[in-house]
Amino acid sequence: MNESRSLGGRFPEQGDGTRCAHAGLPEPVPGAPFLPGPVFAAPYHLDPAQGSATPPNWYGRPDNPTRRLLEAAIGELEGGECRVFASGQAAITGLLLAMLRPGDTVVLPADGYFAVRAFATETLAGNGVRVLLAPTAGPYPSFEGVRLVLVETLANPGLDVVDLPALAERARSTGALLAVDNTTATPLGQRPLDLGADLVVASGTKALTGHSDLLLGYLATRSTELLDKLTAWRTATGAVPGAFDAWLAHRSLATLDLRLGRQSANAEALARMLAARADVSGLRWPGRADDPAYPVASRQLRRMPGVLSFDLGSAERVARFLEASRLVAAATSFGGLHTTADRRAQWGDDTAPGFVRLSCGVEDTVDLVADVTAALGAVV
């Protein structure tokens, strides 16, 4: 059995890089690899008499040792028990469908991931769930009678931030559950469970795994009751990642601290350059002292994200900018090794035609700044 050790319990004083490199690894055994290879199996041998009552594995949908090691690793980083899903969307829709019943009320971000709002209006409302929308920075409606409050902070793509301890207190006072989408911040940027949230949901497709080669989502909580509900939902729907994706994700976690460090440094340098340009407007990066999110972000976030946003005024200028750049790829994800950018209005976000979300990769800072500067110059 390759059950993982709890690094957080054994080495609570260690830094982010150490925790990422060792998270979820099994106890060392001479001759064994650091991270065991993926286990590809649908059925497993059962005890002839006890059947599925014999732990730990009986069928690949509810049970997989590779998946459990990844869950242990993410759980250590988030500070709770984790369940991984086939994608971020599978995790967040699983959360909503597992927790909400007809007649319930849910508060969702008006400025968060557009696909969640679409799911709410097309599916949740059709199931008899009352859907309220609120911007990340507020104001929020009364939480009286609300079953679940979901916030995405940092918001994608606008990068607003909400004061999680204050929001958690409001939710707790009315009996509402608070779930936090931690995709952009990652567990190294903030740990929502430490700040009062009941649940964390995230897309591991983005910065968490960071190599643009897999889809993954996860949910984390410290509540046994909530974890049991989420586990039962995942088992019933089969929304699990494959063993190889789980193994790739666990391998990639080891460099999370290193990747985020370079991405954040690149975002800071680009933000400084973009702020000085007259042909760029609406710059947002919460690490800048004059950003609207800075007062909350500076005290709540442990590190600033590698994502920033700005406006080039028109769809045509965005296209010319992307064509002129040699290092910025046109792509619609974020958090990867390569710098990417996309015009969010084309995907359904309520943004201006020239609004750009740019995700910094791990390129050398001087090269990236020079490339973006030259590409903007070509647009002019």
The CA–CA distances, whole Å, from 181 to 12, 153, 195, 274, 374 equal: 25, 6, 13, 28, 35
As a whole number of angstroms, the distance between CA 30 and CA 51 comes to 32
Q: Which amino acid is at 23?
A: A
Can you say whether the dihedral through the CA atoms of 176, 179, 185, 189 is positive or negative? positive
As a whole number of angstroms, the distance between CA 309 and CA 355 comes to 7
> Which one of the listed residues 5, 61, 229, 272 is annotated catalytic?
61
The CA–CA distances, whole Å, from 350 to 9, 123, 256 equal: 44, 20, 31
Token pair recorded at residue 315: 């769809």
DSSP-derived secondary structure for 212-258: SS---EEEEES-HHHHHHHHHHHHHHT----HHHHHHHHHHHTTHHH
> Which one of the listed residues 67, 206, 344, 357 is annotated catalytic?
206
Q: Which residue, 50, 45, 18, 54, is CA-closest to 254? A: 18
Q: Is 59 a catalytic residue?
A: no
> Which one of the listed residues 181, 311, 342, 349 is annotated catalytic?
181
Q: Are strands 199-203 and 217-221 parallel, antiparallel or unpaired?
A: antiparallel
> Which one of the listed residues 68, 113, 245, 344 is annotated catalytic?
113
| 153 close to 171: Cβ distance less than 8 angstroms | no
Half-sphere exposure of 185 (CA within 13 A, CB side): 31
Token pair recorded at residue 181: 């989408």
Q: Is 181 a catalytic residue?
A: yes
Q: Are strands 217-221 and 81-85 parallel, antiparallel or unpaired?
A: antiparallel
Q: Is 68 a catalytic residue?
A: no
Q: Is 284 a catalytic residue?
A: no
Tokens 């500067």 appear where? Answer: 373
Catalytic residues: 61, 113, 181, 206
